[in-house]
Amino acid sequence: MTLLHDAELTAAFDRGADSYDRLVSLNPGYHAHLRRSARRLALPDGGAGRRVLDLGCGTGASTAALAAAFPRAEIVGADASSAMLARARGRRGLERVRFVHATAEELTADGGHGPFDAVFAAYLFRNVAAPDAVLRGVHDLLVPDGRLVAHEYTLGGRRADRLVWSAVCRGVVMPLGALTGDGALYRHLWHSVLRFDTAPEFAARMRRAGFDGVRVLPLPGWQTGVAHTFTGRRHPITADGAR
């Protein structure tokens, strides 16, 4: 099947925005895992004095995880889909967040709204047409020693991981997507995970984009071997010697 990209994918998220929160709430661990990954940014002092970007913030589920982990941070959420963003703007508890309607490509190309001390990207990189370019752009949006946490469905590389993922999609995700009329979006989810990097491949991609200290961390529950957290840092000294 052909995966959705760019405007087509954004249109699918625009259509799926109304049912998105209901569907993910049926996924055991969805919110807890986002909170676990957000905490892995490990910003000191509740994030006081730090600027954090939630890239591909969607309806604000990942933004809420960030806000809980770092109640003192300044948070910016950005997404390509206006309908997903509209739900994020209306989410309780996120009144202090500034939401921006922009693609990851636009934000990283013009350095807009940066620099950031940390970037969180949950379920984003698998969806962008040119992940290497966006990763390099995210790297350049960060201050020296700034942190990236990516949270992504990425298979562990064992045959069993692919089988679990396809069983969950065939048995649960696709029937629910069909019920809400979002079959195309959830078919994209299924196949994009099968085609995207395995966890070691995505870690290597982060290293090639310039990130230091890249680590792959597991997530518990049925997502073991299916979803991972990736952490990395921009080098503490930039090419021009600035700290």
Q: How far is the CB of 62 from ligand SAM (least distance, A)?
A: 4
Nearest residue (CB) to ligand SAM, 76 versus 128: 128
Which tokens belong to 5? 């990209």
- What residues contact residue 172 under an 8 Å CB cut-off, 6+ apart? 26
Residue 51 DSSP SS3: strand
For 91-170, where are the E strands, in sequence order? 98-101, 116-122, 142-153
- Amino acid at site 110: D
Nearest residue (CB) to ligand SAM, 29 versus 144: 29
Q: How far is the CB of 210 from ligand SAM (least distance, A)?
A: 20
CA 216 to chain centre: 15
Nearest residue (CB) to ligand SAM, 39 versus 235: 39
Contact string 23-52 vs ligand SAM (x = CB under 6 A): -----------x------------------
Nearest residue (CB) to ligand SAM, 43 versus 185: 185
User: Please, which of residues 173-202 interact with ligand SAM by CB under 6 A?
Assistant: none
Contact 36, 14 (CB under 8 A): no
Q: How far is the CB of 115 from ligand SAM (least distance, A)?
A: 19
Alpha-carbon span 84 to 191, nearest angstrom: 22
1 secondary structure, DSSP code: -
- Phi/psi at 134 (nearest 5 deg)? -70, -40
Contact string 93-132 vs ligand SAM (x = CB under 6 A): ----------xxx----------------xxx--xx----
Q: How far is the CB of 167 from ligand SAM (least distance, A)?
A: 20
Alpha-carbon span 200 to 98, nearest angstrom: 33
Residues that bind ligand SAM (CB under 6 A): 9-10, 13, 34, 56-58, 61-62, 79-81, 84, 103-105, 122-124, 127-128
